[in-house]
Structure 1
Amino acid sequence: MDRPPRPPRDPRPLHPAVPADVHRRRWVILAVLMLSLLFVVLDNSILNVAVKTIASPPPTGLGATQSQLEWAINAYALVFAGLLFTAGLVGDRLGRRRTLLFGTVVFGVSSALAALADSPVELVAYRAVMGFGAAFVMPATLAILMNVFERDEQPKAIGVWVGAVGVAIAVGPVTGGLLLEHFWWGSIFLVNVPVVIVSLIAVAAVVPESRDPAPGRTDPGGVVLSIVGLVLLVFGIIRGGELADLTDWTVVLPVAGGALVLAAFVAHERRTAHPALDMTYFRQPVFSAAVGGIALVFFALMGVTFVSVFYLQSVRGFSPLQAGLLLLPLAVTQLLFAPRSRLAVRRFGARAVCASGLLLVAACLAAFAGFDTGTPVWVVELVLFAQGAGMAHVMPPVTVAVMQALPREKAGSGSAVNNTFRQIGGALGVAVLGSLLSGVYRDGIEGHLAPLPAADRAGAGESVEATLAAARQLGAAGEALVEPAQTAFLHAMHVTSLCAAAVAVLGACVVGAFLPGRGAAPGDHGRVTGGGARESVPR
């Protein structure tokens, strides 16, 4: 029986050379991309230090309720995570530079409006628009990076990109604390405007345009399903974090609905002739392990970062600014080690480096189980430094694995997948580990709330901050609650940190099983083309 003829081979090279003029200014372009990345990631965390000020009555704040404050934070995260994938597709089709400029303008204008908001409702609305703009900025930065660096330099450039993300996450609370000490609450948003203006000028001047030269037909059904599924899923996760109860129907229904819609998205993408996301990429064990590793490491990291803020402020008594400064070792290590992680990968292989990094992260998370009210600050700083070093040897290699698995013309899609899994993993970490923290804390403190009025006991048992606030209202009689509250929180933190460490160990097992070993770069595992045929990747 005659074999069917092979489909014609794509004459385009797998990795076409970067134009000479772009190659010469590649590091300047990366610096500009880092500036764009800075204000997007920083704004994810900067609002956390301003919630008490915004809750104050006018003119100091807006008089926002607890629910309004939560939505001011979550509206940004919800829209950002829900649109990341779609924004990456738009960048591939219409141009990543154009998409970056569009998102930056939207982010800058909405930042100015948020700074001048007259009510909590306005603030929530403008924060949602900021998330919309940010969703178009972040995937574009990584996609442009892949198109201005040759393959052999991409690991180094991605290491710098990951380092910039780590710095922005840690610097956000410090920046917010400094601004609130000298200016009004709106300054945490208004500070974005001059940075956005400089970024727009720099992007327009030095960043080249790139897009998929043959994007094919659009897939509106897949795009709609991805948006609806991601928004429902992230909304349910965020709601679970708010309630500290993952069994509430307002959590279960959107999470289940989101999962079903995303399952329909996968089925649709596998059947359609022009998929928004080629599902054959997930047949590569390295690609799937890399995106799974990203989600797991951010699950553990964001959950314990959430816990550590309460430990430093509510138990140890540090101010928001001081607590932010104490978290700086996480940023310093990202900046120092992430750009150099490629050297360790070159010597030992991505499998050994990523697995070791995750085991180091797990050990540091487990170390939180030994912290108490008298733990020396230098010990806390040493653990945070080591944790950042572990992260810096995980995120660059797995990001390289994701991005180099896709052809360069699909860099926007790859960046969107990378960032979407990171956002979902982080949101799950806060929700799941936050719920665990709250449940264990409530069990430990309930027996000590008898001095409080019966109507106040439920609210006072929700968190250590709520208990301490209730104790302050009682005056001298409330002092007896302080030590039990701190003891109950420390026990809850110990349980939560050990669970986070277990998740990090699971991540180490995943990357240890599937990432390439010594002698292969993270992306050296072949590439699946749109037709499902496998092509070798030149080393």
Structure 2
Amino acid sequence: MDARNPRRWLILIVLCLSTLVLVIDNMVLTVAIPPLAVDLGATAQDAQWILDSYILVFAGLLLTAGSLSDRFGRRRVMIIGLALFGLSSLAATFATDPGTLIAARAVMGIGGALIMPSTLSILIVVFDEEERRKAMGAWSAVAMLGLVGGPVLGGALIAWFWWGAVFLINVPIAAIAIVAALVLMPESRGPVTKADPLGAILSAVGMVTLVWTIIDLPHGLNWVSLVTSVVSLAAFVVWELRTPYPMVPLALFRNRTFSGASFSLTLVQVGNGGLLLVLTQFLQYVLGYTPTEAGMAFIPMAIASLVFNGLGAGLGAKIGNRLLIAGGMLVMAGGFFLLASLGTGSGFVLTAVALFVLGAGGGLAMPAAIAALMGTVPPEQAGVGSALNDTIQQAGAALGIAVLGSILTSGYTGALPAGAPDAAKSSIGDALALGDAGLATAARDAFTTAMSSAFTLSAIGVAAAALLAVLVIRDRKPAAPAAPERELTLTH
């Protein structure tokens, strides 16, 4: 009997639209940071929080959102997430100060957390084992399309309209996805388990205060946030190990392959998260690129990532995940070292080569790391395993923005001439706005020096992670496919 949903490929389009709105938003924002910072009077820390507020909320609520979608219906939760995302994007469009924009981005993070686990859960329910790999491939390709087109679209929107257009574009996409979901998509639910509100609170508080501590490092160590973070995360681990219904099955981390792959994914996202924040400012403030040109500069990285992602997926079955993760991360380290060599006189070619190498390494390492991680997750925990994978990557991106942003800020301030005015020390944008040609040259040199330090540290960290992957991760033959999950219910 063929129980396949006749609308499954149309449903896949809805899922792809829902994912695309998240990917495009994150990518277009990277090229919008410099112009919106000038327009809103945002400081370097404000710019970090405009990015971090979304990522922190998204990562903190992802596992809880997955549990909610299982209990109350995945389509329903996804639609609520799309509505929140669209409405908060509309609020961000017309923000007049950094605080309003940061608040809108936080609400967008709530919407994104509700959308992401629901899309993957619905895909798994709608497609059977035979077609699921093809559907997952299409879903991943659309995400990569957002990665390729996001910066270019963002640059074009800023050039033709204004920075608010990068948020306004989310509204019609979210609206179309909501209507299509209501018309085409069946409702589905999973096995109901008890919620873990204490675990959700402890993890959210711990992550927020951890990144807050890192962002504040250029101004001195914030002992209050550091202690709060350590206590919250330690309490989270203790509680998750004791409660009969943990939000995160920490026992998975006892598996060395799961732990090694998780750490590898975290470091990849640490580098990539900070990369976008740092490099977009370098391209526009130092090299003088327009927002459109800055977006175009990321095309080599996106294309390389797309090509080598497909290549890596095939190679993983032949040479094993461990070597592919290590090799890909070594290539990434080479890309970061090339980025560290960029100077105030660097042209497009060296920048493009560095980003291509970085994208190629990430394309090789990422699918192998995800395959290694998910290969250790028992079938009955596949849903929470997927959500945990997303959480790890988002937490890594948040930490990357915080760590590299802090290194950049402190390095930039330290590299300025001793007599530089205080107004120039907060950010390179503020220094250029003063209109002093000599100060502008000094600020560009100082920013480039700080950027080189940040990318050199990224390269060393990724190279160390490659070594760790070789020592820790173990390749195993895939287990036999599990029987279908009959407890899932599907209703219209």
How many Å apart are 1:118 and its aligned residue? 6.2
Residue 92 (structure 1) aligned to one of 65, 70, 78? 70
What is the deviation of 1:365? 0.5
> Quick one: distance in 2 between partners of 1:244 and 1:186?
31
Aligned letter for 2:464?
L
1:21 counterpart = 2:39: no
State the match for 2:19 in structure 1.
Answer: 37
Residues 378-407 of structure 1 deviation map (CA, whole Å, 9 limit, x = unaligned):
232122122112111222222233334334
1:46-78 CA-to-partner distances (Å, cap 9, x unmatched) read 34444555566xxxx6x5553766554443233
TM-score by length of 1: 0.79
By how many angstroms is 1:414 displaced? 1.9
State how 1:444-483 maps to structure 2 within 5 Å. Answer: 444-447=415-418, 450=419, 457-470=421-434, 472=435, 478-483=436-441
Supply the RMSD in Å over aligned alpha carbons: 3.1
The CA deviation at 1:443 is 2.8
Task: Kindly indicate whether residue 175 of structure 2 is the aligned counterpart of residue 197 of structure 1.
Answer: yes
Per the alignment, do residues 218 and 37 of structure 1 end up closer, same or farther by CA in structure 2, a change over 3 Å counting?
same
Report whether the alignment pairs 1:141 with 2:119: yes
The structure-2 alpha-carbon separation of the partners of 1:235 and 1:415, relative to structure 1 and needing over 3 Å to count, comes to farther
2:487 equivalent in structure 1: none
Superposition pairs of residues 3-402 of structure 1, within 5 angstroms: 20-22=3-5, 28-51=10-33, 53-54=35-36, 63-66=40-43, 71-117=49-95, 121-148=99-126, 161-169=139-147, 171-213=149-191, 215-237=192-214, 240=215, 243=216, 245=218, 247-249=220-222, 252-402=223-373
Tell me, in whole angstroms, the C-alpha distance in 1 between the residues paired with 2:316 and 2:251: 26
Compute the displacement of 1:230 (Å): 3.1
Question: Which one of the candidate residues 491, 498, 519 is aligned to 2:456?
Answer: 498
Task: Look up the SS of the partner of 1:446 in the other structure.
Answer: coil
* Structure 1 equivalent of residue 485 of structure 2: none
Structure 1: gaps spanning 5 or more residues = 1-17, 473-477, 528-539
Q: 1:409 to 1:190 in 2, by over 3 A?
A: farther
Structure 1 residues 48, 377: CA separation in 2 closer, same or farther (over 3 Å shift)?
closer
Residues 246, 435 of structure 1: 8 Å contact kept: no
Query: How much has 1:19 moved relative to structure 2?
Result: 7.5
CA distance in 1 between counterparts of 2:123 and 2:326 reads 26
Contact 1:446 1:461 in 2 (8 A): no
1:500 is displaced (CA, Å) by: 0.4
Counterparts of 2:284 and 2:21 in 1: how far apart (Å)?
25
- 430, 450, 468: which one pairs with 1:510? 468
Shift of the 163–295 alpha-carbon distance from structure 1 to 2, 3 Å rule, reads farther
The one-letter code matched in structure 1 to 2:206 is G
Tell me, in whole angstroms, the C-alpha distance in 2 between the residues paired with 1:220 and 1:244.
Answer: 31
Pick closer, same or farther for the CA change 1:393–1:70 going to 2, 3 Å. Answer: closer
Amino acid at match of 1:245: P
The more displaced of 375-384 and 284-293 is 375-384
**Deviation per CA, 1:504-527, whole angstroms, max 9, x where unpaired?**
11221232233343x735xx5999
Rounded Cα–Cα distance in structure 2 between residues aligned with 1:282 and 1:246: 35
Question: Residues 234 and 207 (structure 1 numbering): CA distance in 2 closer, same or farther, change over 3 Å?
Answer: farther
Name the aligned partner's letter for residue 96 of structure 1. R
CA gap of 1:122–1:305, structure 2 versus 1, over 3 A, is closer
Distance 1:140 1:403, change over 3 A: farther
Q: Name the counterpart of 1:534.
A: none
The equivalent of 1:443 in structure 2 is: 414
- Counterpart of 2:78, as a letter, is L
How high is the sequence identity, in percent, across the aligned residues? 37
Q: Distance in 2 between matches of 1:151 and 1:227?
A: 35
Aligned-partner Cα distance in 2 for 1:271–1:153: 39
Aligned length: 481
Tell me the amino acid that sits aligned with residue 198 of structure 2: G
Provide closer, same or farther for how the CA distance between residues 70 and 302 of structure 1 changes in structure 2, counting only shifts above 3 A. closer
8 Å contact from structure 2 (residues 156, 291) kept in 1: no
> Which letter maps to 2:246?
P
Deviation at 1:185, TM superposition (A): 4.2
